[in-house]
Amino acid sequence: MKKTCITLIVAITVIAVSAGAAIAKFPSKPIKLIVYTKPGGAIDVFSRKFEAIAKKYTDATFLVINKTGAGGVVAIKDIMASRADGYKFMAVTRSNVGKIVSSKSDIKTSDLSWLAMMVSDPEAIITRNNSDVETWEQIVADAKAKNGKQLWVGPAKGGNDHIMAMKTWKAAGITAKWIPYKSGGKAMAALMGGHGVVYVGNPQDVLGRPDLKVAVISAPKRLSGKYADVPTFKEVGISGMDSEIMWRGFMVKKGVPAEALAFYEDLFEKVSKDSAWQAYIKKGGANPVYYKKDKFSEIVKKDAVVFTATLKDLGIMK
């Protein structure tokens, strides 16, 4: 009898330990944050800023890992090949949706769980200071004079900025040539070196780069502060280009446990309200937002439809 009781106690203890392990609080080990660009890019800076501010609200350890290639497709495939346990997530931009749509990859936006949209950043047409082509009027005149040979630079063929360029050309009635670089930084360096006339990006891209200027911005009205003198597309006579943005946020593989999702939702909300985070986002002329999984997923779904239609309309896709 005594032996039976001891055996029963041991069995109960084993079950209890196993149950405790099964419901161990997330996270119980470091979390990998995948960035699809090299260090120093806008989404890399965004990710490291998030990691720094997140430390105020969690004891979790984040490891920022840069995994470059194919405009984010390599990083997305890495996420898809990982376990859906919540210990690996990815910093994403609207450009990733454009790349998923335009590439021949079998990845679908519906295969991923779009956790949170944290930034809404207006698209901008950027030129080089003290060049012959600085203003929007000069861009248009130069494009017409060069008859399709004007060079526009930016990251990733088929990405958000490339699509923005093509939509701009169509709206303005001009033609030009897109020269893709491996990163936004390299494209901006090419512009500063005189290897292009226009860079497509966001207002924050000119911060710390006195050689660059924002020539025109996609927004319903002018921004404030540093960008108050920058005209909108509507002001320069271009309609239908008032709401082009680059969003930034986070996604993870579909099927992540509810406990991990709850952890992320709580953390994203706290970071989004943090004063240092908001100051960082606003400094670059962007808007800090926090759209949760359901709303963000709908935005991604609509973006995929818009990108598909745009690329077909422009003859890039069949």
Model confidence at 194, pLDDT cuts 50, 70, 90, reads very high
What's this model's pTM, rounded to 2 decimal places?
0.85
Pairing mode of beta strands 124-128, 198-201: antiparallel
Residue 46 near residue 119, CB atoms below 8 Å: yes
The one-character DSSP state at 317 is -
Whether pLDDT at 61 is above 50: yes
How much of the chain, in percent, has pLDDT values that exceed 90? 79
Residue 148 near residue 287, CB atoms below 8 Å: no
Domains and CATH numbers, the chain: 28-121+245-313 (3.40.190.150), 124-236 (3.40.190.10)
Q: What is the pLDDT of residue 156?
A: 80
Average pLDDT, the chain: 91
Whether pLDDT at 121 is above 80: yes
CA distance 103 to 98: 8
Mean pLDDT of 135-152: 98
Whether pLDDT at 10 is above 80: no
Gap between the terminal Cα atoms of the chain: 78
Residue 185 near residue 193, CB atoms below 8 Å: no
Whether pLDDT at 304 is above 60: yes
Mean pLDDT of 70-90: 95
